[in-house]
Structure formats: C-alpha cells, structure tokens
A and B are shown apart, each in its own frame.
Chain A
Amino acid sequence: MDEETKREIILENYMHPDNRRDGDQEGYLKENTNNESCIDNLNIYVKINNNTIEDIYFNGEACAISTSSVSIMIHNLIGKTIKEALDYIDNFEKMIEGKEYDESILNDAIVYNEIHKQNNRKNCAYLPYRGIKKILEKYL
C-alpha cells in the first residue's frame, strides 16, 4: 500500500470513525484506555455473545492515529470469536513493535505498518488494542 493511500485511510477513519457513540449502553463491557505521556483517552465498549464479539463502540478524545486506529480495530474485530480477536491483536502488536507478523489477516490495519519507526506515535496506534485486550482476556 502506498503512503498516500495509507494517509487517506487514516484520515477517513479519523474524520468519520466507525461506531463512535456517547454514553454507556447496557449489555456492554467497558474499559478506559489512556496514554500516560499524552492526552489520548478512550472508552471502549464490547458486547460479547456466545464467545463472539457482537458489537464494539467507543467514545472519548484522542489524536488522529488513536482515533483512526480504534475505528479500524472496530470494523475488523466485530464478528470474530474471542480467540480470533486475540490472535488478530497479537499480530497487530507484532507489527507495531516492528516484529514479524502475518499481514494477510490484518486488512486495512496495515496502514500502521511503518509506525514502529515513530516512537511517539506507536503507543497511539496501539492504545485501543490495549483496552480491548483487557476485556477479552477476562473472557478466556
């Protein structure tokens, strides 16, 4: 994927993120996730049914990278089983850390495949995953 396409995908997900909804909804598990060194602050809400992620939404305030990342995470994880989701997250984490990973399962999340070169933005991209991982791991 070329740089221009990546930028467009990130910007689109930032300006019009998937599933941003205010307030707490019933039937969802909630986790707050924030970056110590900056001001990103997101609430992630997950609805799990039959070991499968039925829905995810978020609210809060965060930079372009965190916001686009949560949006991309949401449309990739909905419909996955918990195990599949954790597998996906594990792959994403490896990519962010600049390690070997399976590109084929990440879909559009590969827009962050160069972000390991920018130390200060790595955490922004990973922020939503850190939150949802806490919820999903409780389910294992």
Chain B
Amino acid sequence: MNRSDFPLLKTGVIYLDNGATTLKPQCVIDKITEYYQEYSANAHRGDYDLSFKVDEAYEGAREIVRKFINARYKEEIIFTSGTTDSLNMIVFGFFKRFLESGDEVLITKSEHASNVIPWFMLERELGAKVKYIELDDNHYVTMENVSKAITPNTKVISLAGITNVIGDERPIKEITEYAHERNIFVVVDGAQSVPHRDTDVQDLDIDFLALSGHKMCGPTGVGVLYGKKELLESMVPVRYGGGMNESFDSANEVYLKELPARLEAGTPNIAGVIGLGEAIKYLEAIGMDKIKEYECDLRRYAIDKLISIPHIDIINLEADGGIISFNVDDIFSQDVAYYLNKYHVCVRAGNHCAKILKGEVGVTSTIRMSLYFYNTKEEIDYVIDLLKDKERILKEMI
C-alpha cells in the first residue's frame, strides 16, 4: 500500500527491516524541512510570531499523539528521544523512588535490552528483584503464566506490547486488569506495537507506555512517554535545566513547572516532534486497523511460502505482528543477510537486542524480516526466490 509516498522505495530497495526503523513518507520529510526552512525558532521562549508558530506546531503534535493513543489529558504526553529514553525515565524517574528492596519486577526473556537493563540497574541499586514470566512453547505470554509469576512482592510488570524477535502480541488488557486488582503497575514498551495496531491507553488501562517515532514513519530521535496523570505527577525529572523550571534563585530555591514541561528539560527535538505528528496523521489516514490486517495477510503469505522450503527453519511460525525470524540450515544468519544485500534486500541478522532470548529459542542468532504496510507480495516472492536454492546462497554469500 501507499508505496509512491516513500521516496526511498523508488531506488528499488526491498526494505524488510521495519522492526529496526521504518522508511519516511514524503509528507513527513516535507514537514521537517518546512520547520527548518520557514519557522525554525525555539519553542516556549520567544515573544514573536515565528516562535508562536513553533509552539502551535509543537503543542499541536502533542494533541495529535494524545488522540492517537486516546490519552485522557494532553499533559500525559511527554516527548522524549525514543522508547529507550522513555523507559529509562519510567524506571529511574518513577520506580526508583517507588520500589524498595525485596520488591519484584516482572519482565520476560524476550524483552528488548531497553526493557531489561534499566531494571537490572535498579536491581543493583535498590535490591529490587527482576523476575521472568515464563513463555509458552510458542514464546507467548499467557495469563496462566502471568498469574503464576506474581507474588505478594510483585510491584510492576513491564512488557513489550509486541516483541521484536517473535512478534507475539501480549494480552495487555487482561494483564492490566489482573495486575491492578493486585496493586501492580503495568508498563508497556510500545516500540513494536504502537506502529502496527490501534492503541487505546484508556481501554487497555496502561499505567506507562513508551514508543519511538522512527518505527512508525516518523523521524529518529523522538518518542513519547505516556503515563497516567497522577503517576506522572509523582515522577521526578531525570533531567533538570531550562524549560522545565518556574523559577530558581541562588539559594537553591527551585520551582518546577507543571506537566508536561516539567519532564521535558532543555530545547526539545522540535522538528522531530512536528514530524512525528505528521507521521501519525499519515498513519491515521491509512487506518491502523487496515495496516494491521494488511501486515497479517502479508505475513501469512510469506510464511506459507517459506514453510515449503526444506532448508529454512522458521523460529516463530506463530506471531501477530509482521515479524518473521528464521535461519537457513548450516548457514550463519549474517551470511544470509549479506547474500540478500547483494540483491538489495535489507534484512537484519543477529540477536536483535534480545540477548537473553537465546536460551529460550535455542539459537543465538536469526535472520529477521519485519514487514510494514508498504511491503508487497511481489517483494516476498522475490526474496523467496533468492532463498529457495541453498547452493546458490552458499555460492554467492562470499
């Protein structure tokens, strides 16, 4: 769908690494350029027309994000540099103050590094304990395993909405309901879920959500931290400085601004925020349900073809997002990626920042194709054609 909107696709590249980052449509590129060319003043500062225009566009983007994830209040939308930044703010700005030694944090072994290492650091600092919800045979999180993992000490469950290696979708709504009955917070890493399906934070009753602009047709270096207002109110900034203080004096009397400014110290990524707003408008015009359906169809199409190739081992036969992880028998994943690259096919080889998953799936690295709505069946056919002859891979990968 919508291929003509993406200038990079005109180069003939077959881009199947959307889990890493997505391509940018022309309208997003134009929107960013427009800011730099026509009104590149700072936000929240000046008393002149240009600066007002910046504020309008910047705060306009906040409203676009609010509507997109259906947050109740605009102040619940904090602009960050991306999912990693948002998760670090959640862990060190909120949970570091809230958790005590002996409290338990539940994650899984298929989380991205950004939803693992900050919690590990908290474990070291506070003596809180990081524990894992067991995954089932398809590497899914089931409610049964969630309830098994919860103890009286569990204080927070932090999960990707969709994981980046398996592409499994977590039952977030059931989890929040179950967790909240037990006074447990739920953090959702939305990096791979928000770009690919409708996300309603009120309906899902998520306490904190993190997302990245660049994985949803937006620019790099911008993301969002969503938190329920009452929780964000008690979050402490992890960065202090300009733009977030009301006043301060030489005697260390500091008054901070209200949300959301309090959590956005320093000059923000203005072009990025405005570009993200445009990207969301673009996705909404296509329709998130349509995107989801299209990707599921395309994935099924690819799986049906891949499964008939005997030397291909699919790691995640079952998945909800557009992610396909596989290996070619006896060939190192990276060599396959190099081979495909010779034919302008971009796929990722490696452990995909989920280093603790290898114990679960039994392989240390995989080739990952991650689809988005602009990928096509023709592209899949082309890749399948390249993969179906193992001798050819062996011959041409060097």
A binds B: yes
Do the beta carbons of B365 and A61 come within 8 Å of each other?
A: yes
Contact for B351 among A10, A39, A40, A62, CB less than 8 A: A39
Tally inter-chain residue pairs, CB-CB below 8 A.
Answer: 33
Do the beta carbons of B350 and A65 come within 8 Å of each other?
A: no
- The yes or no answer to A121 lying at the interface (CB within 8 A) is yes
What residues of chain A lie closer than 8 Å to B349, measured between beta carbons? 38-39
Q: Mark A28-64, 1 if CB is under 8 A from B, else 0.
A: 0000000000111000000000000000000001111
What residues of chain A lie closer than 8 Å to B331, measured between beta carbons? 64
Contact for A39 among B333, B338, B397, B398, CB less than 8 A: B333
- The yes or no answer to A120 lying at the interface (CB within 8 A) is yes
Within 8 A of A (CB), among B332-368: 332-335, 338, 349-351, 364-365
What is the total number of residues of chain A having a CB less than 8 Å from a CB of chain B?
Answer: 14
Q: Report the bound CA distance from A109 to B333 in whole Å.
A: 24
Do the beta carbons of A120 and B338 come within 8 Å of each other?
A: yes
Q: Report the bound CA distance from A25 to B137 in whole Å.
A: 37
Q: Report the bound CA distance from A120 to B338 in whole Å.
A: 9
Given A39-B333, A64-B332, A64-B335, A11-B398 contact (CB < 8 Å): yes
What residues of chain A lie closer than 8 Å to B254, measured between beta carbons? none
- The yes or no answer to B394 lying at the interface (CB within 8 A) is yes
What residues of chain A lie closer than 8 Å to B334, measured between beta carbons? 38-40, 63
Within 8 A of A (CB), among B221-244: none
Query: In the assembled complex, how far is the CB of residue A56 from the closest CB belonging to chain B, in whole angstroms?
Result: 21
What residues of chain B lie closer than 8 Å to A120, measured between beta carbons? 338
- The yes or no answer to B395 lying at the interface (CB within 8 A) is yes
- The yes or no answer to A21 lying at the interface (CB within 8 A) is no
Do the beta carbons of A64 and B398 come within 8 Å of each other?
A: yes
| Residue ID in chain A nearest B396 by CB atoms | A7
Do the beta carbons of A64 and B365 come within 8 Å of each other?
A: no
Do the beta carbons of B333 and A11 come within 8 Å of each other?
A: no
Do the beta carbons of B338 and A7 come within 8 Å of each other?
A: no
Query: In the assembled complex, how far is the CB of residue A86 from the closest CB belonging to chain B, in whole angstroms?
Result: 28
Do the beta carbons of B350 and A38 come within 8 Å of each other?
A: yes
Query: In the assembled complex, how far is the CB of residue A67 from the closest CB belonging to chain B, in whole angstroms?
Result: 8
What residues of chain B lie closer than 8 Å to A63, measured between beta carbons? 332, 334-335, 338
Query: In the assembled complex, how far is the CB of residue A102 from the closest CB belonging to chain B, in whole angstroms?
Result: 25
| Residue ID in chain A nearest B394 by CB atoms | A11
Q: Mark B292-325, 1 if CB is under 8 A from A, else 0.
A: 0000000000000000000000000000000000
What residues of chain B lie closer than 8 Å to A121, measured between beta carbons? 338
Q: Report the bound CA distance from A63 to B350 in whole Å.
A: 11
What residues of chain B lie closer than 8 Å to A62, measured between beta carbons? 332
Q: Report the bound CA distance from A63 to B398 in whole Å.
A: 10
Which of A10, A63, A120, A121 lies at the interface centre, i.e. has the most chain B CB atoms within 10 A of its CB?
A63
Given A38-B350, A39-B365, A121-B338, A61-B395 contact (CB < 8 Å): no
Within 8 A of A (CB), among B184-204: none
Which of B332, B394, B398 lies at the interface centre, i.e. has the most chain A CB atoms within 10 A of its CB?
B398
Q: Report the bound CA distance from A7 to B331 in whole Å.
A: 15
Q: Report the bound CA distance from A65 to B332 in whole Å.
A: 10
What residues of chain B lie closer than 8 Å to A10, measured between beta carbons? 398
Do the beta carbons of B398 and A7 come within 8 Å of each other?
A: yes
Do the beta carbons of A65 and B365 come within 8 Å of each other?
A: no
Can you show 21 pairs from A to B with CB atoms below 8 A apart?
A: A7-B395, A11-B394, A11-B398, A38-B334, A38-B350, A39-B334, A39-B349, A39-B350, A39-B351, A39-B365, A61-B332, A61-B364, A61-B365, A63-B332, A63-B334, A63-B338, A64-B331, A64-B332, A64-B335, A65-B398, A120-B338
Binding site for A on B (CB under 8 A): 331-335, 338, 349-351, 364-365, 394-395, 397-398
Closest 6 CB pairs of A and B: A63-B334, A39-B350, A64-B335, A63-B332, A63-B335, A39-B365
Binding site for B on A (CB under 8 A): 7, 10-11, 38-40, 61-65, 67, 120-121
Given contacts A11-B394, A64-B397, 16 further A-B contacts (CB under 8 A): A10-B398, A38-B334, A38-B349, A38-B350, A39-B333, A39-B350, A39-B351, A39-B365, A61-B364, A61-B365, A63-B334, A63-B335, A64-B331, A64-B332, A64-B335, A67-B332
